[in-house]
Amino acid sequence: MSPTIRAVTERLADDVLLPRAIATDLAVAVPPESLSQLARAGLFGLYGPKTAGGLDLDDNDALAVIERLASGCLTTTFVWMQHHSAVRALAQAAESLQTDWLGPLCRGERRAGVAFAGLRRSGPPVLVAERVDAGYLLDGAAPWVTGWGSIDVVLVAARDLRTTDGDIVWSLVDATTGPTLHVEHLRLMALNASATVTARFERHLVPDERVVCTEGFEQWRARDEAGLRTNGSLALGVAWRAAHVLGSAELLDRIGRCRDRLDSAAVAELPTARSEASELALTATTTLVVATGGRAVLETELAQLLAREAVFLLVFGQTPAIKAEQLMARAAEAQTD
């Protein structure tokens, strides 16, 4: 990572996001100015091509930015992170879509969310796409859409049931409610200001010019399994902040080793490495709660905020494989005790 991007990221995390973190946690949405400062720093173009005004960082540098921002305010980072899925998808999309969207998204002039969590659910698809002459009709629910009210569009994944494999239709949908699109705000125990909603579609038309691509379901599943590393950076950021406040060299060393395991893990090893990162965040933050003492129960204290965030990260992005690793780790702890 260039020294400039590193310095900008550290300044944003320590001097902008962290001082606002508790107020953000208590708010109904992330302060617009926090997201605007990330945009002015060019960070909405983290993965975007330089030809569109993006930074085009490699994975290691991008993950370092995510981790450091998460150490400042996980809620703000969480909303901002959703944006990059749309940027990466549009960088491979048709030229007309790139012309209309890629530059404004990389500059943070337009902001995106993502709706694909339903793909990980077992059973029948929760959101389907029906082909019609003008495009696709979406029916069903997107159970988890973050940043509502702060985003302009959502990159939505729906299953095309006409195809043998249930291909995924990826499309850009305006983040605006109407007769065919309704949202229900979810009340979260942490990151509530992320303004996360369940979106419900009732024969909602997506015109062909908003279809980003189609993808085989098994192809997506393999890509999803290979992409588990990213959310580990959120846990490392929360753990780092707790360890930094504690001044614990031992915890900081453990965070470094955990980061190395995540970076070197093969796809089959990622669930174990992700589980370890989440558990480490929980250990670091609960240690900070104990060290802080009784005042840690006050909602104005950083210790309780970090601890709630660590609990949230135990299950956010949890796959069956990660869950199995977490439960085995807890069973092993119980036997040791």
Residues 36 and 84 in one domain: yes
Looking at every residue in the chain, the average pLDDT score rounds to: 95
Residue 215 — φ and ψ, nearest 5°?
Answer: -150, 135
Query: What is the arithmetic mean of pLDDT over 294-300?
Result: 96
pLDDT digits 0-9 by tens, 259-271: 999 999 999 999 9
Residue whose entry in the numeric block shows the structure tokens 């753990």: 239
Note down the domain range covering 66: 3-106
The whole-model pTM stands at 0.95
What pLDDT is stored for residue 337 in this prediction? 61
CA distance 30 to 187: 15
pLDDT digits 0-9 by tens, 88-137: 999 999 999 999 999 999 999 999 999 999 999 888 999 999 999 999 99
What pLDDT is stored for residue 2 in this prediction? 84
Higher pLDDT, 334 or 270: 270
Residue whose entry in the numeric block shows the structure tokens 């337009």: 110
What pLDDT is stored for residue 336 in this prediction? 72
222 falls within a domain? no
Residues 136 and 120 in one domain: yes
User: Hey, what amino acid is at 119?
Assistant: L
Residue 160 parent element (H or E) = strand 153-160
156 falls within a domain? yes
- Per DSSP bridges, beta strands 181-185 and 153-160 are unpaired
pLDDT digits 0-9 by tens, 177-205: 999 999 999 999 999 999 999 999 999 99
Would you tell me how many other CB atoms lie within 10 Å of the CB of residue 223? 10
Q: Is residue 156 pLDDT above 70, yes or no? A: yes
Residues 121 and 66 in one domain: no
- In a 3-state reduction of DSSP, which class is residue 31? coil
Reported confidence tier of residue 335, pLDDT bands at 50, 70, 90: confident
Residues 27 and 7 in one domain: yes
Residues 209 and 239 in one domain: no
Residues 175 and 128 in one domain: yes
Residues 233 and 332 in one domain: yes
pLDDT digits 0-9 by tens, 60-91: 999 999 999 999 999 999 999 999 999 999 99
Reported confidence tier of residue 333, pLDDT bands at 50, 70, 90: confident
The radius of gyration computed from the CA coordinates of the chain, to the nearest angstrom, equals 20
- In a 3-state reduction of DSSP, which class is residue 144? strand
Residues 163 and 237 in one domain: no
CA distance 177 to 154: 12
Residue 249 parent element (H or E) = helix 249-264
What pLDDT is stored for residue 162 in this prediction? 86
Reported confidence tier of residue 332, pLDDT bands at 50, 70, 90: confident
What pLDDT is stored for residue 107 in this prediction? 97
Token pair in block for residue 170 = 């990826």
Residues 165 and 93 in one domain: no
Higher pLDDT, 105 or 335: 105
Residue whose entry in the numeric block shows the structure tokens 């494999």: 165
Residues 123 and 167 in one domain: yes
CA distance 227 to 95: 26
221 falls within a domain? no
DSSP category for residue 45: G
Dihedral angle computed from the Cα positions of residues 327, 60, 82 and 286, in that order, rounded to the nearest 10 degrees: 40
Reported confidence tier of residue 1, pLDDT bands at 50, 70, 90: confident
pLDDT digits 0-9 by tens, 240-254: 999 999 999 999 999
